[in-house]
Structure 1
Amino acid sequence: MVAASSLLALPLLATAVAAYNASQHQLNPVQLIGANSPWFSGPSQGIPYVVPEGCTVDTAAFVSRHASRYPDLAAWQQWTNLSAKIDAATFTVSESAPELKFLETWKPVVRTPSQDISAINVGGYKELQVQYDMGVTYRYRYPDFYTDNSPFIAWANQYPAAPRVIDSARLFTRGYMGPNATRSGEVYVLNSTDPRGYANSLGTGDGCSTIHGGSGVESTTWDNTYLPPITARINSLLKGNLTFTNTDITNMPYLCGMETPILGYQSPWCAVFTDDELEGYEYAQDIKYYYGGGPGSYKNGTVMLPVLNSVIQRFQDGPNKTYTSSDGSKFQPPPLSAMFTNDGQINQLVSQIGVFDDQAPLPTTYIPAGNKYVASHFVPMRGTIGFERLTCSAKHYMRITLNDVVYAVPSCKSGPGQSCPLDTYAALIANKTAAAGTFPQICNISSTGATQAELTMKSTFLQDDALPWGYFVSP
């Protein structure tokens, strides 16, 4: 978050309006759209992303969001409602606001909604190449992890609304393995809506009646703070009977982020706002995720502790461990555990990994200086939480990255490159797990068709490739 002072509220927005020049953005608009931004590597946290001297990375894991997509049905309806409102109005645009001229002819850019809604988008076909590139990047990053033509497995959440998570895992695997991926690669898809997978999947909140995705009063308070000056400014540039509401305005940055990868160039909606106004929207995303499923959401985020505990177990066991699956077969997972899921799960997980343990509650009437909890930096399209086991002189350490940027755990950064000793990190997460309670308690589960052994706070899918609620697809 870039801010000229410790506060970004109505007075600062008013100053920004007075100085507005639509062609002079100092920031990249599509990097200020929170979860609706295309992927980008976030700003440095002051820790170089190099392997510390005397160390090697011998085990790694990541949990990544899917690639860019078309809008879901609810968002599409908002787009079409906005388009219908503009079409029904008679208006002209002020000569001082050429950036708004596109409103006279704008139509939603989804061409075939019956086929495209919720799927990876047309501009995302290009971003599918990003998934290939992501796979190649990890081959370069960990050159000793994979030998050509050997087997490899990735993991994916079976998101019921669309196949975009599975498709992202498939395309990553192709980039990672190369031409023979379809012959020797597999994507292990986990059904989180099967009661037996409630605590043992990549969508561990899907069976929880206690989980909610909204942030309620916190979002409403911030919306009532930052939106009215923007709405007033834009309406002042229109002559006629077209008058936008605050709700209309909240859809416009969303359109900036979502239209850009569909079009293949920056959406005209991106030029409508000043930098400060876009930062106001970005902070709305921060509040949504912080209070919806993040650190400020009571126990919502704790539902991903089973997955985190499984990663820690994998790191404690080391890269060469062979496990016995539930059907009695032997399973040796690769040194890289590549997992794909959705934004809600990324946000829930990021709230528990420790890097935001020193984050003060987000205020709802201004943007605090130095805010670290910025949704754009970890939950955009293809947002990625990375884990690495550093081995240094036979000692093991945990290093964490968000979108390829190293973040320290504030209470545990004594290791090389501000990493955390693995045993200390395991103890830290064990304490979080104990404080959270049992999975049935967190999710208010009394009877599900799953045994208590299947509802523990440690997932086993990284160590067991024969779970009956999982299945394999080819890359």
Structure 2
Amino acid sequence: MFNLVTSGLALASVASASWSGLPKFGEKQFSQSFNDGYNLLKHMGSFAPYSDRASYGVDRNTPEGCEVDQVHMLMRHGERYPDAIFAEGYVEVLDKMRNSKVKTWKGDLAFFNDWTYYVDDAGLYSQESTTGPYAGLLDAFTRGSEYRLRYGHLWDSETVVPIFSSGYERVIETARYFGQGFFGYNYSTSAAINIIPEAASQGADSLTPSCTADSNYYTCYADRFYATLPPLEVAAKRFNSQNPGLNLTASDVLQLMETAAFELNVRASTPWADAFTLDEWVAYGYIWDLAYYYCFGAGSEYQTAAGQVYANATRVLMQSGPKAGKMFWSFAHDADITPVVAALDIDVPEHKLPNSTIPFPNPYRVADIVPMGGHLTLERMTCNATTVSKAGVYVRAILNEAVVPYSKCQSGPGYSCPLAKFSAIVDKAPKYDEKCETPSSYPQYLSFFWNYNTTNEYNYQSGDIAYQLTDTDV
């Protein structure tokens, strides 16, 4: 007689033997807890170490039946020391604290009795960090080695591959370390660093195109937004009450929170992280969301037009296909990537961000777009037909290692977008030559993706390299 109990046990035994992935008795195969939503790196604006973007749950790996035949990456430099021009503000507030009447620090600032500033040599300002677990050059090298595993099939081990960097020292160093991570011992002969000047006279032939018509660009910073959000004022009052004789302002607090983020780029931890409350960190992060949205992102038609330069060039290369090149590694600043993201219609809120209250969910979080080492990756995929999509060429946008499906274009494998529809999205962005009033004597289109050098002259540091002394990075 067939015994359901014993047969069932036998089948279970066979199944257990054939699939070692079965959970142990009483264990869950999938966790029901997702408690990592709060991470301070997501509230430090664009100054903190790299963190992956909060994912929508779409697999990062190439969809089954598809092959990436061309890839584009636009990456921000890695973790770094602050720029000297901004560090002046940090040092001024720190000196204000040290020169106050407070002799022994108490309360949330008790750590200040022993804390030391993390920049011990003025020559480090603006440079990539080389110390601590979040070191910028380590970040760049690691990204290169990871992308070799992911996209190494696009390189035939013989072709010299160009790497494009804007002409700023820390950006160039990031490009170099990425190249060393990707090419390994072949870097010195197989990569060719192309340095694109950051001068305005480059016009559209630039990784950092400036929009002449945007008179707001060089004066648009966070200090115009913090006064509308009270938590920073609350923090100042708390510190002052805990330490009589101190007279910090909300503006001072903004500086201290910024220096805390930079400290993590150099050291393994920062005591400033615990000096502020959750509400204060959330407010600080949103202040920078506002700044990037209105100054360098989707809230500015001028900056979206500047981003259209790179978006359009990559679109043309994708239309041409692998014969135009298979890998395009580019490096620039955060304020040059947010315009591209806007031009590609990624993270464009339906309504403008309010500056008197913090929206939840927040539709524009700069820590998810351009943290230190932040990068936008566009994949051109040739795919077979599936039950839900036709055979053809599709595009996937990946922002900080999270697939970001287009809200109105996700019909392809892995929620990708057909190349023709992707092209239509790029066409909708404001045009650089129409919006930015670029002088006619300046280049009107990007050409270096087609006209590049394949020499190794700039692969390593060789004396001083002239780069723009005026900071383009906030």
Partner of 1:415: 412
Tell me the distance in 1 between the aligned counterparts of 2:264 and 2:348. 34
Return the match for 1:111 from 120, 142, 163: 120
SS in 2 for 1:388: strand
Partner of 2:148: 139
Return the match for 2:444 from 452, 455, 458: 455
Partner of 2:264: 260
Tell me the distance in 2 between the aligned counterparts of 1:380 and 1:464. 30
Conserved? CA contact 2:135–2:266, under 8 Å:
no
Give how far 1:31 is off. Answer: 3.6
The equivalences for 1:213-362 within 5 A come to 213-215=218-220, 219-220=224-225, 223-239=228-244, 241-263=245-267, 265-321=268-324, 333=325, 335-362=326-353
| More RCO (CA 8 Å, sep 6+) | 1
Per-residue CA distance 1:245-265 (angstroms, 9 max, x = gap): 1111001221121011212x1
Per-residue CA distance 1:227-268 (angstroms, 9 max, x = gap): 2222222222213x11211111001221121011212x1111
Give how far 1:181 is off. Answer: 0.7
Conserved? CA contact 1:158–1:165, under 8 Å:
yes
Query: Residues 471 and 173 (structure 1 numbering): CA distance in 2 closer, same or farther, change over 3 Å?
Result: closer
Return the match for 2:65 from 37, 40, 54: 54
- Pairwise CA RMSD: 2.5
Conserved? CA contact 1:151–1:185, under 8 Å:
yes
Runs of 5+ unmatched residues, structure 2? 1-35, 385-390, 461-474
Give how far 1:398 is off. Answer: 1.1
SS in 1 for 2:230: helix
SS in 2 for 1:230: helix
Partner of 2:75: 64
Partner of 2:180: 174
Conserved? CA contact 2:81–2:265, under 8 Å:
no
Query: What is the TM-score with the length of structure 1 in the denominator?
Result: 0.82
Conserved? CA contact 1:358–1:410, under 8 Å:
no
Conserved? CA contact 1:38–1:261, under 8 Å:
yes
Conserved? CA contact 1:149–1:180, under 8 Å:
no
Q: Quick one: which amino acid aligns to residue 407 of structure 1?
A: V
Conserved? CA contact 2:217–2:296, under 8 Å:
yes
Return the match for 1:363 from 331, 334, 354: 354
Return the match for 1:101 from 110, 119, 129: 110
Partner of 1:30: 41
Per-residue CA distance 1:410-464 (angstroms, 9 max, x = gap): 12122222211111110221132xxx2452x4233345x33xxx314xx222122
Moved more, 67-76 or 117-126: 117-126
The equivalences for 1:70-89 within 5 A come to 70-89=81-100
Conserved? CA contact 2:90–2:256, under 8 Å:
no
Q: Which runs of 4+ in 1 moved over 6 A?
A: none
Per-residue CA distance 1:85-130 (angstroms, 9 max, x = gap): 11211225676x2x421223434221110x1121112437933122
Query: What is the TM-score with the length of structure 2 in the denominator?
Result: 0.82
SS in 2 for 1:430: helix
Runs of 5+ unmatched residues, structure 1? 1-24, 322-332
Q: Quick one: which amino acid aligns to residue 428 of structure 1?
A: I
Partner of 2:3: none
Per-residue CA distance 1:329-378 (angstroms, 9 max, x = gap): xxxx3x12110000110111111111224442111111111213100011
Return the match for 2:203 from 187, 198, 206: 198
SS in 1 for 2:291: helix
Give how far 1:391 is off. Answer: 1.4
Tell me the distance in 2 between the aligned counterparts of 1:119 and 1:216. 22
Query: Residues 26 and 355 (structure 1 numbering): CA distance in 2 closer, same or farther, change over 3 Å?
Result: closer
Q: Highest Rg: 1 or 2?
A: 2
Per-residue CA distance 1:186-232 (angstroms, 9 max, x = gap): 1111113162x210110111766646055469943664433222222
Tell me the distance in 2 between the aligned counterparts of 1:222 and 1:399. 39
Query: Residues 428 and 292 (structure 1 numbering): CA distance in 2 closer, same or farther, change over 3 Å?
Result: same
Q: Quick one: which amino acid aligns to residue 180 of structure 2?
A: R
Partner of 1:399: 396
Give how far 1:149 is off. Answer: 5.3
Tell me the distance in 2 between the aligned counterparts of 1:295 and 1:235. 38
Aligned length: 418
